[in-house]
């Protein structure tokens, strides 16, 4: 079954940094838009960031702009989320998601809407606390 695997989560102090990685199992991320979502207990799932199949365009939630950076290395078949200046409110389970979207001419961008993504990972826990 097509799925994603996240790694890199952990416990970090406020102001610290973490780098999350997303790697597919059973397929390549080529031609896929990839996004990061997060969900804290008792709260709705939130779109964090997404990146186009070639890495030429990115989107960020307002809450993480200037602090998080999404990137991809298609040669390594990996998407990253660099998280800097972490805050306690960033504490959540972070999920990687992907959907087939090979070009900007394919259709509307999936964006930060979870219903537009087909493949998901199991999540990695990020805890920001002193």
What is the 3-class SS of 36-87, one letter each residue?
Answer: EEEECCCCCCEEEEEECCCCCCEEECCCCCCCEEEEEECCCCEEEEEECCCC
In sequence order, the 6+-apart residues with CB closer than 8 A to the CB of 119 are 2, 3, 4, 24, 27, 32, 97, 98, 99
pLDDT of residue 108: 87
pLDDT of residue 102: 87
* Beta-bridge partners for 128: 12
pLDDT of residue 10: 98
**Contact indicator for 94, 126 with CB cutoff of 8 Å:** yes
- Nearest 10 degrees: Cα torsion 4, 53, 19, 83: -120
**Contact indicator for 4, 96 with CB cutoff of 8 Å:** yes
pLDDT of residue 77: 95
How many angstroms separate the CA atoms of 96 and 46, rounded?
12
pLDDT of residue 53: 92
Q: Which residues of the chain have pLDDT under 70?
A: 104
């Amino acid at each position: 079954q097509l799925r994603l695997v996240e790694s890199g989560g952990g416990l970090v102090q406020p102001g610290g940094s973490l780098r999350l990685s997303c790697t597919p199992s059973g397929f390549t991320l080529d031609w896929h838009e990839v996004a990061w979502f997060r969900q804290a207990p008792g709260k709705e799932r939130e779109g964090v960031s997404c990146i186009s199949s070639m890495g030429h365009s990115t989107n960020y939630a307002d809450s993480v702009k200037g602090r998080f950076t999404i990137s991809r290395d298609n040669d390594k078949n990996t998407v990253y989320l660099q998280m800097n200046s972490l805050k306690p409110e960033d504490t959540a389970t972070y999920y990687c998601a992907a959907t087939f979207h090979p070009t900007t001419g394919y259709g509307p961008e999936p964006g930060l809407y979870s219903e537009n993504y087909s493949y998901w990972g199991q999540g990695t826990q990020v805890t920001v606390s002193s």
